[in-house]
Amino acid sequence: ELADAEGKEHIANEAADLLYFALVACTKAGVTLSDVEHVL
């Protein structure tokens, strides 16, 4: 998992997995990146 990842490549791989699954979930729910930005 990202929290336990060490090293640049491992962190990048775990972050990519996290972003992929987050974007898939957002797409399925009809949530846009703009919606996410407003929360940030």
Q: Average pLDDT across each block of 10 residues of the chain; the chain has 40 residues. List them in order.
A: 96 97 99 98
Q: How far apart are CA 40 and CA 38, in angstroms?
A: 5
Residue 25 belongs to what domain range? 2-39
Q: Looking at residue 21, what is its pLDDT? A: 98
Q: Looking at residue 32, what is its pLDDT? A: 98
Q: Is the CB of residue 15 less than 8 Å from the CB of residue 2?
A: yes
Q: Looking at residue 17, what is its pLDDT? A: 97
Q: Looking at residue 20, what is its pLDDT? A: 98
Q: Looking at residue 27, what is its pLDDT? A: 98
Query: How many structural domains does the chain have?
Result: 1
What are the φ/ψ torsions at residue 5 (nearest 5 degrees)? -70, 145
